[in-house]
Structure 1
């Protein structure tokens, strides 16, 4: 689940056999499996819920809902690959399935990682435009444009990762089956440079600029309460911090490995460097999956309208549960009770309030 399907045993620098250049596959295995499991347990139900809640916002013509719904679907797809990676890591990095399954799983994994990153940028940019250019953005923030942008992101990232299916797979020894382990291939190293710049550095700068602009504008605002300002500023800071925690370690290690292979002159030194970085590299890749579990909480549940949708839904569930409990008790006591339809109507009247317009402050 890394850069190329199988770790080579021949150095591209000297063409010498490197039988001793074996990554420490056992190191970090337990924490990585635990990390994947925790992310899956938290992220799967959270994203299922937010896919539904954001779809309600899409139907109500909320522009930001397009990006949030796309992000939830992306993260949900991303999470489906985690059981395979957890099994692979727990079995000493031995891939038990076919080469096609390996390539397809890696393709989905990396596609959704970068689609998620670019959608996070779209969310921040949309919020920035809505907050800083409130009046001017009324004609620009349209659902049709948001749908087109989301589709373009998915298409471009999908096309950019097609080379995954053309990568050569080969085993170092008979029965040694690896899937997307680090490689020193020059094509892969060049690809890592572009991933660092396009997939991490540019999005990071975009997030810094847009969220700083949101914070500055909100602090100057005189029409917002102190708690509203605090919530917006907290969200802006949390967006950047989460991005750095989840994606910075992985992409920094990608860059360090690419630089090392390009400029180091000794095979032994390169091998030692690669094996030393292997465990931090696998942990950092696992850390990138945390983003898919936190996104529903950080972005979706910070939306006023979506919180209201969730509150209404929970209130209806609680009312129905109380109604059923009262009905059962009344039956046991053989006492007359209200007609269930009347109670349902009263519960609906109590919990269903008129939907307010688009979220304030762009979310």
Structure 2
């Protein structure tokens, strides 16, 4: 059994990412989000961890082959894996009625990597779309610009800036696990409000504009091309729409709530209303959990949409099929040769079938 479904909110519990403070008599319901979040975190872990492990391997092969886009894809997969590693602790936290069972430093480190990797992932998505846009729209002009060293430099800059931007997490009292809480929504201050505005603008709105502009440019140029087959154009169209809609579905609810909390800081009467805090708390926690879904879908949407990655998968599947069908059990040399010949024929047929499935 869990703790009672309502727990007193402390004025001392302040969230790094959120706004208003409930009155001391305001009681929040921590049971409403328990089942949805635990289920969501579990599904994301089951899908995301193996998918990202596979894509780390596949994209690493592309990096070895001097593929520029592979740098961003590998970084994104590694970032998503780090992000997913924090989910078991958050799932346990939610399942035990929002009571942090570990040390304050564990709370700060977990929160640090959780939010760091969220925004590193968002910025890397922008890099991937921008790189694809340059490669498609400026194919000739970009040959001397799209280099792995530049991609590595951009990635390291993003990681460094985001990591430095979140270092105040380790000095903030909100991560000290007061009354068992770890970075819960709490008191609104000018600093927290400024963070909320910055997160909405830099962490959501600007990346959204970049994704829309770049994917629209890719879509227009590809659809106008006469050298691509209809199936290839359809795949590009689905990817362009999928990128934007996935971004909106995963990150828009959370950042819109951050914006609402920031705006309410300028409306004292609304800010101090317990009903407002009670009504927005569960949507906030659910929207934050929903943002993790992006880490499970990224490998499918981005990595598997790459022609080079699909070729790596076809090679891997062909090798696996060849190894599983090759059974040299007979000592008769002629039978052994016939068996190998049969296996080789099956491999060729299988490879051809896979090639047909590209479109």
TM-score strictly above 0.5: yes
Corresponding residue for 2:258? 254
Q: Identify the match of residue 275 of structure 1 among 273, 278, 291.
A: 278
Matched residue, 1:292:
295
Residue 310 of structure 1 deviates from its aligned partner by: 0.8
| Aligned equivalent of 2:315, options 294, 312, 318 | 312
CA displacement, residues 8-53 of structure 1 (integer Å, 9 cap, x when unaligned): 42799xxx99332232111121011000000000000000000000
Q: Distance in 2 between matches of 1:208 and 1:301?
A: 21
Q: Which residue pairs with 2:17 in the alignment?
A: none
Q: How is 1:332-351 mapped onto 2 (pairs within 5 angstroms)? A: 337-338=335-336
Instruction: For structure 2, list consecutive stretches of 5 or more residues without a partner in the other structure.
Output: 1-7, 15-20, 352-359
> CA, structure 1 residues 266+121, in 2 after alignment: closer, same or farther (shift >3 Å)?
closer
Q: What are the superposed Cα offsets for residues 81-137 of structure 1, whole Å, 9 maximum, x if unpaired? A: 010000000000000001000000000000000000000000000000011101101
CA offset at residue 274 of structure 1?
A: 1.6
- TM-score of the aligned structures, taking structure 1 as reference length: 0.86
Q: Take 1:132 and 1:302, find their aligned partners in 2: how far apart are those partners? A: 18
Q: Is residue 163 from structure 1 mapped to residue 161 from structure 2 by the alignment?
A: no
Q: Post-superposition shift, 1:308?
A: 1.2
Matched, 1:82 2:87: yes
Distance 1:11 1:62 in 2: 46
- Structure 1: distance between partners of 2:51 and 2:263: 38
Q: 1:60 to 1:161 in 2, by over 3 A?
A: same
CA deviation profile, 1:208-230 (whole Å, cap 9, x unmatched): 11111111111221221111111
**Aligned residue number for residue 238 of structure 1:** 242
Aligned to 1:3: none
Partners of 2:325 and 2:200 in 1: CA distance: 54
Give the match's secondary structure for 2:173. Answer: coil
Q: Residue 60 of structure 2 aligns with which residue?
A: 55
- Bigger shift: 58-67 or 311-320? 311-320
- Cα shift at 1:180: 1.1
Q: Say how many residue pairs are matched.
A: 336
RMSD value, Cα: 2.9
User: The residue matched to 1:302 in structure 2 has which SS?
Assistant: coil
| Structure 1 position 171, deviation (Å) | 6.3
User: C-alpha separation between the residues in 2 aligned to 1:116 and 1:267?
Assistant: 32
Written as runs of structure 1 = structure 2, the 5 A alignment for 1:1-363 is 8-9=10-11, 18-169=23-174, 176-186=179-189, 187-265=191-269, 268-269=272-273, 271-324=274-327, 327-328=328-329, 330=330, 337-338=335-336
Structure 1 residues 267 and 149: alpha-carbon distance in aligned structure 2, compared to 1, 3 A threshold: closer
Distance 1:306 1:288 in 2: 25
Change (3 A) 1:135 1:45: same
Kept in 1: contact 2:71–2:148 (CA 8 A): yes
Q: In the alignment, is the contact (CA less than 8 A) between 1:184 and 1:261 conserved in 2? A: no
CA distance in 2, matches of 1:287, 1:11: 23
Q: Is the 8 A contact 2:13 2:184 kept in 1?
A: no
> Distance between the aligned counterparts of 1:268 and 1:20, measured in 2?
11
- Name stretches of at least 5 consecutive residues in structure 1 with no aligned partner: 1-5, 354-363
- CA deviation after TM superposition for structure 1 residue 337, in Å: 4.8
Q: Does the CA contact (< 8 Å) of 1:7 and 1:178 recur in 2?
A: no
Distance 1:134 1:76 in 2: 32
Q: Deviations over 1:284-304 (max 9, x none)?
A: 011000000000000000111
Task: State the SS of the aligned residue for 2:146.
Answer: coil
Q: Which runs of 4+ in 1 moved over 4 A?
A: 334-337
Equivalent position SS for 1:97: coil
Between 1:143-152 and 1:220-229, the stretch displaced more is: 220-229
What residue in structure 2 maps to residue 359 of structure 1?
none
